[in-house]
């Protein structure tokens, strides 16, 4: 039997969150989605509050993943400990609150979600994501396993895709906020895309006001990042998964404006 899983790229700012609230449930109905994973680490610009997390769940997300801005809003720590549906990278130090892996009962199928952070140009003293993934994949397997790999380097994301090919159902990249055109089913059956893109302002530099980003590259002091105004987009991908094999049959990019 085929199931459709939706992965939504990093939600940026309150405007991105409002766009998600407006469109996620209708998108899920349109694409016959069984399970939805949303990366929420940029709703506060940098970080996520508990109230914003609840808004993402209310919009229709089943699981929220995070990344390098997980603890920019330290008040999220309590919710990370309490909620099995809010994940931070599994390869963070064991002293960090929360979890990076969960298994969720969806009736006829069980779906695992793994959240990892890359180490190329992201210096968070994280453990090796490749070996952490190996450890999490030991033991009994659920029907499907999904991986949000929050990483800077496309090479690291691609390497992880090939490393886990055939061992996970789908792997997508987040963090760089620009969608890639390499959606595919890898040779051993894992659905893959290097980056989902983002859910936030269309006319922006990764969600931020362009003039702020320009000032930074000119050597100035841009100050606290401000989310750009204007119309938003919702970007992500739909993975079609086969419950008989636990693997992927198709990947479709999403760009909803």
Which residues does the annotation mark as catalytic? 69
First-residue to last-residue Cα distance in the chain: 31
CA distance 69 to 98: 14
Tokens of 7: 């992965």
The 8 Å CB, 24+ separation contacts for 75-84 are 75/49, 75/50, 76/47, 76/48, 76/49, 76/50, 78/50, 79/50, 79/53, 83/53
Cα 224 to Cα 29, 45, 76: the distances in Å are 38, 9, 20
Q: How many CA atoms lie within 13 A of 63 on its CB side?
A: 29
CA distance 202 to 233: 6
Residue with tokens 């210096």: 123
């Amino acid at each position: 039997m085929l199931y459709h899983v939706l992965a939504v790229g990093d939600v940026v700012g309150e405007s991105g969150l409002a766009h998600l609230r407006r469109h996620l449930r209708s998108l899920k109905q349109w694409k016959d989605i069984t399970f939805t994973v949303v990366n929420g680490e940029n709703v506060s610009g940098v970080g996520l509050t508990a109230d914003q997390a609840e808004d993402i769940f209310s919009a229709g997300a089943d699981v929220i993943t995070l990344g390098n801005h997980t603890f920019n809003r330290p008040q999220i720590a309590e919710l990370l400990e309490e909620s099995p549906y809010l994940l931070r990278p599994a390869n963070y130090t064991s002293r960090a609150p929360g979890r990076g892996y969960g298994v969720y009962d969806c009736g006829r199928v069980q779906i695992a979600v793994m959240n990892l952070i890359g180490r190329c140009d992201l210096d968070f003293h994280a453990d090796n994501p490749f070996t952490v993934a190996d450890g999490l994949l030991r033991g009994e397997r659920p029907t499907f396993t999904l991986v949000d790999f929050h990483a800077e380097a496309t090479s690291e994301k691609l390497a992880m895709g090939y490393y886990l090919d055939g061992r996970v159902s789908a792997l997508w990249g987040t963090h760089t906020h620009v969608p890639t055109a390499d959606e595919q089913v890898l040779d051993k059956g894992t659905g893959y895309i290097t980056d989902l893109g983002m859910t936030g302002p269309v006319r922006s530099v990764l969600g931020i006001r362009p003039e702020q980003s320009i000032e930074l590259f000119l050597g100035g002091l841009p100050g606290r990042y401000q989310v750009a105004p204007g119309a938003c987009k919702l970007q992500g991908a739909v993975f079609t998964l086969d419950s008989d094999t636990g693997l992927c049959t198709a990947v479709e990019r999403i760009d909803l404006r």
